[in-house]
A and B are shown apart, each in its own frame.
Chain A
Amino acid sequence: MSGTSTKRKTDLLDYAGKIGHSDMGATDADGNHKLGFSDRSSKPKKGDPLAPYQMPLTQEEQDIMDGKQGEELAKVMKIVVAHGNAFNAEKLVDLGGAPHSSLFTGQDYLMPIIDMFQKCADAGLKAYAPYTVNPRCYDVYNVNNNAKDLKVIYELYAVQRELDWVHVQLGAPDLNLRSCACYVDEVGNRPPPGTYVAWAESSAVNYGNSALGLRTNRNASGMELLCALLGKAPLFGLMTDEGRMSTWLVDVKTTKEPDWGVLGTAIGLKVVDANPFITGIDKYLGTEVSNDNMHLLKKMGSATASSGAVGLYHVENITPDAKEKGRNLLKEGYQTYVFDDKEQARVLATYPTDFPDRPKDPTVAIIGCPHNTYKEILDWGTWVTEAIEKKGLEKPAIPTRLLCANVVRDRLVKEHPELVGKMTAADMRFSNMCSLSYVGMKDFSEDMFAVTNSAKTRNYYGFAQYLKDEPLIETIVSGKIPEGA
């Protein structure tokens, strides 16, 4: 099988830097070049770091490597072991819970990966458990339901069918569960603390390691699914006690509740890929991770992963590792970063607010990157519809895209049907697509001026304006960004 070749040819050099900014661009808020990836090894290196390394394998693992369970699984084992050897992994560990895959973009360049997994499916391989997958890049029902968008989508995502079909065969059949926030109750991929998994998707890895206490590395797209087929992953990095230690103490000293997105962005820029130990925010969160505060951790954490490459953070008195070990997680010689009102203002000031190549006023509000929790869509539905009623308006000035898994939306329809009716009238449209793909999709995003409460979306795209919740509500209703927002 081979992908159809797209015929699009664009002058991307002018465009690069404006779309597709990816996690860990290796520059700080001032544009200074930074190196990251300082915390890779599972243990302090002993002996010659250049010496060849071979992790010990059990007899069963060696048998798989030798082809006793088929050629395809042998290759899968060889890849996973070679990858582990590169990081001096101690051994392979059995995975629990369920996988989460970030293979979601059905574009031509992904065909080598799709072909590989199709061969695995043809050989009868399956993931060790039914798994979740990132959302599709588009939504042809609720958002992209017009000829212009469809043309772009069917050219750009020409092999989406092949990718989706591979996922179905390997163990992810339900597209209603597609979400980057696989850990919300309604999607249900939230294994217990301490479970070894091999997840991909930077925000899910970040949340899983930190708020759920899972043990996963920040896997490359494709590697997570190879580990899922094997049911094993190499033990190194963030999966180990040593690799979960902190080299940074982040002391939050704002005079009131911090802007979670700005705080996350600031942390990522400062610590890059280290594991920050964050103090001073538990008073805003409570005593444990819950459905009432998970959206705040999600917002902060995803920003640390998109402005830097943070795969794990600890929050004093809140997150599982921190509750268990406290400040013993801090390594000797750790550095301290103070985040106070002045620092918050400094980082916020680095966010652009002038977009000369965009429409003068906002055209759409994007809420849900990473995907919304149930609480978030309930809150936003309530806030916006009440704000409209208060002003005596029939409709807001601009539409709102609320991004979440279909099953999260379905719960709101079931529990608050009247509110959903009001939300529909208020041009608040649910979609299970990916915010980043939508906001940055070339050939139609240029006509868009998006406002968002997602620091992750803003960190990817300099042309989306970040707003706190209150000014964002005002902007949705009036179509104008309030002064000083």
Chain B
Amino acid sequence: MAKKTFKGRPLIPGNLEGKALASKHPFNVSASYMENLFGGNTKTAPCTDVVNKEWAGKNLAGQILCFPTGVGSTMGGASLMGVGSMGLGPKAMLYAQHVDSVSVAGLIIDNVWNEHNVITIDQLGDEFLNTVKSGDPISIHEDGTVEVG
């Protein structure tokens, strides 16, 4: 596929190359990590949000997650920190829309307090989400530029 470039707002900047894991469904953080939060799984992070057909059952650990925005319980931020401390958090969170206040809180706390950086870029736009597919190569740059393809 032809390479496409998108520009977002880097909230926690960084450079990274890898493969995308994309969903058009909002990321319900707490609901997605239930096996890690409540089930004792410390090896993988299978998505337990059964409503999210694109991600249900897929391993979220170490992924570059591409999604519209975060939703769900106010425990979402703490959940992200929790899976991060297990080494099972995402490497990057790429929001097509504006960040939600819950998930980004966990990312910022982890970044400032623990110096644990999950690259976080928001407002990449609907076209970004229409373009990116799971498995696509993706390049993230510190200025918030994201290249797909």
**Tally of contact residues, B, Cβ under 8 A:** 64
Query: Would you call B77 and A220 a contact (CB within 8 A)?
Result: yes
Query: Would you call A13 and B48 a contact (CB within 8 A)?
Result: yes
Q: Which of A49, A78, A107, A108 has the most CB of B within 10 A?
A: A108
Q: How far is the CB of A12 from chain B (nearest CB, A)?
A: 4
Q: Which of B40, B46, B57 has the most CB of A within 10 A?
A: B40
Question: Which residues of A are found within 8 Å of B86, using beta-carbon distances?
Answer: 109
In chain B, positions 106-122 with a C-beta closer than 8 Å to chain A are: 106, 108-114, 122
A221 contacts the other chain (CB 8 A): yes
If the complex has contacts A10-B39, A17-B50, A221-B75, are A36 and B26 also in contact, measured as CB distance less than 8 A? yes
B16 contacts the other chain (CB 8 A): no
In chain A, positions 35-52 with a C-beta closer than 8 Å to chain B are: 35-37, 40-41, 49-52
- Chain A's closest residue to B69 (CB) is A37
B15 contacts the other chain (CB 8 A): no
B133 contacts the other chain (CB 8 A): no
A6 contacts the other chain (CB 8 A): yes
- Chain A's closest residue to B57 (CB) is A13
A130 contacts the other chain (CB 8 A): no
Query: Would you call A16 and B50 a contact (CB within 8 A)?
Result: yes
Question: Which residues of B are found within 8 Å of A15, using beta-carbon distances?
Answer: 34
Q: How far is the CB of B127 from chain A (nearest CB, A)?
A: 14
In chain B, positions 1-50 with a C-beta closer than 8 Å to chain A are: 7-9, 11, 24-26, 28, 30-31, 33-42, 46, 48-50
Question: Which residues of A are found within 8 Å of B106, using beta-carbon distances?
Answer: 220, 222
Contact with B along A370-414 (1 / 0, CB 8 A): 000000000000000000000000000000000000000000000
A110 contacts the other chain (CB 8 A): yes
Report the Cα distance A154→B41, complex, angstroms: 18
Query: Would you call A7 and B34 a contact (CB within 8 A)?
Result: no
B104 contacts the other chain (CB 8 A): yes
Query: Would you call A201 and B74 a contact (CB within 8 A)?
Result: yes
If the complex has contacts A20-B31, A219-B101, are A112 and B85 also in contact, measured as CB distance less than 8 A? yes
Query: Would you call B39 and A220 a contact (CB within 8 A)?
Result: no
Q: Which of B82, B86, B110, B123 has the most CB of A within 10 A?
A: B82
Contact with B along A12-34 (1 / 0, CB 8 A): 11011101111111110000010
Question: Which residues of A are found within 8 Å of B11, using beta-carbon distances?
Answer: 82, 86
Query: Would you call A109 and B79 a contact (CB within 8 A)?
Result: yes
Question: Which residues of A are found within 8 Å of B26, using beta-carbon distances?
Answer: 26, 33, 35-36
Q: How far is the CB of B120 from chain A (nearest CB, A)?
A: 9
Report the Cα distance A258→B87, complex, angstroms: 49
Question: Which residues of A are found within 8 Å of B8, using beta-carbon distances?
Answer: 50
Query: Would you call B112 and A78 a contact (CB within 8 A)?
Result: yes
Query: Would you call B30 and A20 a contact (CB within 8 A)?
Result: yes
The answer, among A12, A36, A107, for a CB contact under 8 Å with B48, is A12
A161 contacts the other chain (CB 8 A): no
Report the Cα distance A203→B98, complex, angstroms: 24
Q: How far is the CB of A463 from chain B (nearest CB, A)?
A: 15
20 contacts between A and B (CB under 8 A): A9-B41, A17-B48, A26-B26, A26-B28, A51-B9, A78-B112, A79-B113, A83-B108, A86-B101, A86-B108, A107-B38, A109-B85, A112-B81, A112-B84, A217-B101, A219-B105, A220-B76, A220-B101, A220-B105, A222-B109
Chain B positions near chain A (C-beta within 8 angstroms): 7-9, 11, 24-26, 28, 30-31, 33-42, 46, 48-51, 56-57, 68-69, 71-79, 81-86, 97-106, 108-114, 122-123, 144
Chain A positions near chain B (C-beta within 8 angstroms): 5-13, 15-17, 19-27, 33, 35-37, 40-41, 49-52, 75, 78-79, 82-83, 86-87, 102-103, 105, 107-113, 116, 156, 200-202, 217-223, 226, 237, 309, 442
Closest 7 CB pairs of A and B: A109-B82, A22-B73, A220-B105, A16-B48, A220-B77, A17-B50, A12-B39
